[in-house]
């Protein structure tokens, strides 16, 4: 098993790193889905469904795209 050592001498296995990355990805995806649903009243049904599908099927790409570009199309007082 691959062990990564930090400067303090403690080791963290590659499995733990992948676990942290997976946890971060899950948190990002859930945050994006919650944000999309909170703005559902400002989105058409088709746009809402497309954003949800893209975010769930392509978690990092969809979530980052929603936070970077998706919310820009909403009225300023709803963000």
Contacting residues for 62 by C-beta, under 8 A, at least 6 apart: 29, 32, 51, 54, 55, 56
Cβ proximity of 20 and 27 under 8 Å = no
State residue 70's pLDDT score.
81
**Cα 40 from Cα 78, distance rounded (Å):** 11
pLDDT digits (tens, 9 = 90+) for 7-65: 555 566 878 888 999 999 999 999 999 999 999 998 899 999 999 999 999 989 999 99
Measuring CA to CA, how many Å separate 69 from each of 16, 31, 61, 63? 32, 15, 11, 10
pLDDT at 79 over 60: no
**Strand ranges, E, within the chain:** 3-5, 11-13
State residue 15's pLDDT score.
84
Note the pTM of the prediction, 2 decimals. 0.73
What is the crossing angle of helices 14-38 and 59-68, to 10°? 50
């Amino acid at each position: 098993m691959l062990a990564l050592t930090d400067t303090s001498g403690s080791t963290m296995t590659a499995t733990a790193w992948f676990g942290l990355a997976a946890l971060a990805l899950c948190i990002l995806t859930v945050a994006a889905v919650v944000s999309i649903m909170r703005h559902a009243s400002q989105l058409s049904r088709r746009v809402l469904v497309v954003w949800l599908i893209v975010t769930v099927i392509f978690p990092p790409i969809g979530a980052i795209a929603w936070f970077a570009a998706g919310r820009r199309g909403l009225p300023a007082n709803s963000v």
